[in-house]
Amino acid sequence: MPPKQTIRKEEWDRRLHEVQVTKDDLNRLIMDYLVIEGYKSAAEEFSQEADITPPVDFESIESRMNIREALQRGDIEDAITRVNDLNPEILDTNPALYFHLQQQKLIEYIRQGRIADALQFAQSELAPRGEESPEFLSELERTMALLAFESSATAPAGISELLSPGQRMKTAGEVNAAILESLSQGKEVKLVGLLKLLGWGEQLLEEKAEYPQMGV
């Protein structure tokens, strides 16, 4: 293995200062974060202050947040209605997403103790979809396994987690990503992607060279 190259602090600082990051670049990163995370009011104010055009309509941000809130409180029917009002093609062209919404509705029936409704819903809505896909069938079986336990505390972790708030958030995240994709907007905050790239770059650099560490 060849010896690592040593980069002196003076050279490191010089190279850092040569990198130009414009104010417009920073403003677009901030706007991207506000839009994807759903901070409508902040995005509107920042758009005016920074004189930057948002990548999506502000009303679509509010619609996404209303859908997310409906899912996080377990109102799946309201969420589905709102998604269809926003763009009916989202669910029509994404069978996996629609299945996960229906799966979440089944979970809510079980959470509420509405066992008869859960069984009927599973048989009429989810079982036919399970026949179409081994993945869907596996998820349906895992969800129905909740009925075999008296409470989530007695169920295995892989099953009990379906009743956790995290499951609702996971479903909400899938819906949010699908809506953003339909708007031709990135599904992940660009700042997160940059941080991942930075981490990868630092790891690669450490393998090749000795260089001044940040904060050292």
Q: Does domain 1-55+185-216 have CATH number 1.20.950?
A: no
pLDDT tens readout for residues 63-110: 999 999 999 999 999 999 999 999 999 999 999 999 999 999 999 999
Burial 144-162 (b: 16+ CB within 10 A, else e): bebeeeeebeebeeebbeb
Dist. CA 187–CA 174, nearest whole Å:
10
Tokens encoding 119? 């069984």
Which one-letter DSSP state was computed for residue 151?
S
Dist. CA 57–CA 140, nearest whole Å:
36
pLDDT tens readout for residues 45-69: 888 888 888 777 788 888 999 999 9
Q: Is the pLDDT of residue 201 over 80?
A: no
Q: Where are the domains of the chain?
A: 1-55+185-216, 87-184
- pTM, whole model, 2 decimals? 0.72
Dist. CA 136–CA 92, nearest whole Å:
17
Band (pLDDT 50/70/90 cuts) for residue 186 is low
Tokens encoding 24? 């417009």
Task: Check residue 26 and give its pLDDT.
Answer: 84
Q: Is the pLDDT of residue 215 over 60?
A: no
Residue bearing the bigger pLDDT, 162 or 5:
162
Dist. CA 202–CA 204, nearest whole Å:
5
- Across residues 201-207, what is the average pLDDT? 67
Task: Check residue 211 and give its pLDDT.
Answer: 61
User: What is the DSSP annotation of 158-198?
Assistant: HHHGGGSHHHHHHHHHHHHHHHHHHTT--SS-HHHHHHHHH
